[in-house]
Structure 1
Amino acid sequence: MPIINNNDGTLSVEFGTGDIKISSGMMGDEEQGLITFKEQEPKPIGYFEKQKEKQVDLTTYPVHLIFKNTDSLDVLIERLERTRKYMTRELDVWND
């Protein structure tokens, strides 16, 4: 199961097997950016499927990332890029 409710009240989302649907969009009269995650039957990683409905029921997506401004989105992008560099050994996590 890729989305896990841990016993300590935290939530883990495990990526890498194609069984998490990642969707993006806008909410709040297009004032806030939105990325959602939910479990799906495994598909090729990066598989893109156009959303059929203009609006979706967010209760069907257990994880939401909501961005009130592009600065907060830029920080997430930077952290993801840094994590990629750790994983490819371009940066050393202990000496960075």
Structure 2
Amino acid sequence: MKNKGEVLVPIINKSVQVVFGTGDISAQVGCLSDRSSGAIQFTEIEPRPIGEEFFGDKNKMEIDDAPVTFIFNKVESIDAVIKQLQRLKDLMSAEGEYEWTGSGRIIEKK
């Protein structure tokens, strides 16, 4: 979160989109030594096989090193993001198990 005057702003740039699927995005994680806060950063790299381990040239992560950084101050926030990513994975890989209502809501078929 960035401090904007005296107001904390949880979403700083409201128009960032990151497109995954071609192996050209690196995801790197870091955590403060007291474990009070951690982050994952996404940077553009030369394409490589998706999921291949990649080590950047820096040993220490700075918050402003990447164009996209997710900062977590509670483990529960990480769990919430993982839950939604797992749900998305299920939706994208489960042929015929979900349907879309007229309003666009996704529901599980019974």
- Asked whether the two chains share a fold, i.e. TM above 0.5, the reply is yes
Q: Does 1:92 align with 2:107?
A: no
Consecutive unaligned residues in structure 1, runs of 5 or more: 1-8
Task: Work out the number of aligned pairs and report it.
Answer: 88
Consecutive unaligned residues in structure 2, runs of 5 or more: 1-13, 100-105
Normalising by structure 2, we get a TM-score of 0.68
Kindly, what percent of the aligned residue pairs are identical? 33
Normalising by structure 1, we get a TM-score of 0.77
Q: Partner residue of 2:52?
A: 47
Q: CA RMSD in A?
A: 2.1
Q: CA deviation at 1:57?
A: 3.9
Give yes or no for contact 2:91–2:98 (8 Å, CA) kept in 1. yes
Q: CA deviation at 1:48?
A: 1.0
Counting only pairs closer than 5 Å after superposition, residues 1-96 of structure 1 correspond to structure 2 as 10-27=15-32, 29-51=34-56, 53-89=58-94, 91-92=97-98, 94-96=106-108
